[in-house]
Amino acid sequence: MSRYLIFDLGASNGRAVVAQVREGQLQFEITHNFDNRPVVMNNGEFFWDIPRLYSEIKIGLKKSLKQFDDIKFMAIDTWGCDFGFLDSDDRLINSVLTYRDQNQHDLSEKLHSILSEEELFQLSGGPSNRIMGIYKLFSMKENNFLEYREGKSLLMMPDIFNFMLTGKKVNEFTNATMTLLVNQNTRSWEKKIFEKLNLKSDFLNPIVEPGTNIGPIKKEVCEELGIAPIDVIVPATHDTAAAVSGIPCKGNQDWGFISLGTWGLAGIETEKPVMDERIVPFQFGNEGSADGKNLLLKNITGLWIIQQCREAWLQEYGDKVTWDYICEEARDTADEDSFIDVDDPIFGQIHSSMPKVIKDYCKKTGQPIPVNIGAIARCVFKSMALKFNESFQQITSVIEKRIEVLHVVGGGSQNKLLCQWIADAMNTTVVAGPVETTVTGNFLFQLLADGTIKDLNEGRELSANSSDLHVFSPSDSELWEKIKDTYNKKINKDVSFN
C-alpha cells in the first residue's frame, strides 16, 4: 500500500505528514514541524517569509522521502486570501503581504464606492470580509505597487509553492474563491469585477479543481534534495475547504460545521452557491468547496483573541499559563456576565496586550471589567459560543434549514469547555474532532486522484471510522437562554474602536 505526503501550512505553523490507509483506517505520522511567523518590514507592514517556508517544505520533503521510500503523491494546503506575483522571468516579486495588512482595510470603502457589496455578492457570491484578496489587489493598484505593475502571474499561497516545485502555474478553485474575483456558479474568473474596478487581469492563470494532478516535482529540485520525483496533487488548497472535506459525517442528518483555529469558519455545505441577498448583512457568503459543492459560511474571529491573550500572559506569568490552565481558570471563575463582540475589528488586530484591549472594551460598553486570567478567558470563550449561535441563527433563518448536529473540527475541538458551551448556546449536539481534519481532507484528495476512493462521501466514512470523536450534548437550556438575553442587551453592535 502506497503512502502519501501532506503539507499543511497554517497562519502560525506548518508540518509535513505522511499518510496511508491501513485496514480501513487513516493513519498519519508527522515527519517535520515548523513555525510560520510574519516578518514586520516597511514601517509596520506584515509579510510572509516565503523563502523560509519553501525551505521548510523542502526539508519536509527530504526527511519524509528518506524515511519512507513508497510515497506516491504529495499535496499542499494553506490558509486563504493571500497571493504573490511572478515577474516575466517567473521570479517572485518581493514577499507576500499578509491579509492583516492595514492598507487593504483602509481602502475598502473606496472600493465599495465603485462596486457595492451587494453587486460584488451578485458577481462572486462571496462574503465581503476585508481580509479577502480583492481588497489587497485593489490596494496594490491604488498605491501603484511594483508587484501590481510588473506582475505577470498571480498565484495564491499554495499555488506559489506548487509552482516552485513543479514549474506549473495554476490557480486552484477553493483558494481562488478567497479573492472574491471568481464567479462561483461558473467556477471561473469573473471578468466583470476586474472591468468595474479597472483591475488588470492578464496575470490570471487557469483555474483547476481539487484532485488535479499537475505533474512531478521538477528535476532541479529532485537533484538538489537527492530524491526521486513524485507527482504533486492539487487538493482543496484552502485549509477550510480541506477541513470540511475531511469532516467525519455519515448518515442523513443535516449538519453544520465550525473549523476552529485562529479563525472560526462557521457554516454549512450546500449543493450550489446561495445567492439570496439577505445573507449579505450577516456577513455570510459562499466559498469554494470540492466535488462541485459549495460552502456557505462566515469568517468569525476564533482562537486568535485568546492566543493573543496567552502571549501577553506568558510574558507576565511565565510557562504556567498552559492551555489546560487557561481553560481550568475559565471554568472555575465566577460568572461576571462580561462579553465582547469577537468580530469587532479591534479584536482582529495585533496588540501588545490583548487582555488590556478586552478590559477597555468592557469598560467602554459599561460592563464588569474582567480582572484575571480566568475572568478574561471566560469572557472570551462565552462570547465566542454566543457569536457562533447568533451567526447560525441568522443563516438558518434565511435558508430555512435546522442544524441537527454541529461538527467542530481543528485545533479548537480539543477545548472541551468551549465545545460544551457551543452546544449549550446553540442547544445542539456538538461532535468534536478530529483535530487533523485539514490533513485528512488533503489526504482524501490524494486518494481520489489515485482512484483509491470513488468520492468524498466514501472518504468521509473513512474519516469517521478513523477518528476519536467526542460528543457534547446541550445542557442548562434555561440558564443559557438568560445568558443569551444578557449578551444581546450588553453588546451594542454600534460600538466600534476604529
Active site residues: 239
For residue 32, give the 3-state DSSP assignment. strand
What is the predicted pLDDT for the residue at 401?
86
**Mean pLDDT of the region 355-361:** 98
Supply 229's cell numbers.
520525483
Closest by CA position to 159, among listed 61, 234, 73, 81 = 234
- Span 370-384, pLDDT tens digits: 999 999 999 999 999
CB distance 194 to 148 below 8 Å: no
Q: What are the C-alpha distances in Å from 490 to residues 108, 361, 483, 485?
A: 29, 11, 10, 9
pLDDT in tens, 395-450: 999 998 889 999 999 899 999 999 999 999 999 999 999 988 999 999 999 999 99
User: Using CA atoms, how far apart are residues 193 and 201, in angstroms rounded to an integer?
Assistant: 10
- What was the pLDDT predicted at 44? 78
Q: Please determine, for residue 496, whether its predicted confidence score (pLDDT) is greater than 60.
A: no
Determine the Cα–Cα distance for residues 342 and 448; give it in Å rounded to an integer: 38
Please give the Cα distance from 476 to 421 (Å, whole number): 10
Residue with cell 439577505: 278
Would you state the pLDDT for residue 495? Answer: 39
Percentage, residues of the chain above pLDDT 70: 99
Q: Specify whether the CB–CB gap between 479 and 485 falls below 8 A.
A: no
Q: What is the pLDDT of residues 240-292, one digit of tens each?
A: 999 999 999 877 789 999 999 888 999 999 999 999 999 999 999 999 998 88
pTM for the complete prediction?
Answer: 0.89
Of the pLDDT bands very low, low, confident and very high (cuts 50, 70, 90), residue 302 is: very high
CA distances in angstroms from 356 to 226, 338, 429, 454, listed in the order given: 51, 14, 34, 52
Size (the chain), residues: 498
Distance CA 235, CA 299 (A): 21
pLDDT at 494 over 50: no
Predicted pLDDT at 250: 76
CATH topology of domain 3-239: Nucleotidyltransferase; domain 5 (3.30.420)
* 165-182 per-position pLDDT tens digit: 999 999 999 999 999 999
pLDDT of 363 > 80? The answer is: yes
What digits encode the pLDDT tens for the residues 129-145?
899 999 999 999 999 99
Q: Given this model, what pLDDT does residue 322 score?
A: 97
Question: What is residue 18's predicted lDDT score, i.e. its pLDDT?
Answer: 98
Range in 34-38, 88-92, 330-334 the model is least confident about: 34-38
The domain made up of 249-433+468-497 has a fold known as Nucleotidyltransferase; domain 5 (3.30.420)
Give the residue extent of every domain in the chain: 3-239, 249-433+468-497
Confidence of residue 41 (pLDDT cuts 50, 70, 90): confident
The CB density around residue 206, as the number of other CB atoms within 10 Å, is 10
Flag whether pLDDT at 109 surpasses 70: yes
Alpha-carbon distances of 211 from 205, 296, 351, rounded to whole Å: 17, 21, 39
State the residue for C-alpha cell 472560526: 264
- The predicted pLDDT at position 498 comes to 37
- Answer yes or no: are the C-beta atoms of 429 and 406 closer than 8 Å: yes
Mean pLDDT of the chain: 94
Q: Is there a shared CATH topology between the 3-239 domain and the 249-433+468-497 domain?
A: yes
The per-residue pLDDT for range 451-481, each reduced to its tens digit, is: 999 999 999 999 999 988 999 999 999 999 9
Buried b (16+ CB within 10 A) or exposed e, 220-232: ebbeebebeebbb
90 alpha carbon, distance to own chain's centre: 28
CA gap 421, 406 in Å, rounded: 13
Alpha carbon distance 34, 56 (integer Å): 7
Q: What pLDDT score was predicted for residue 492?
A: 56
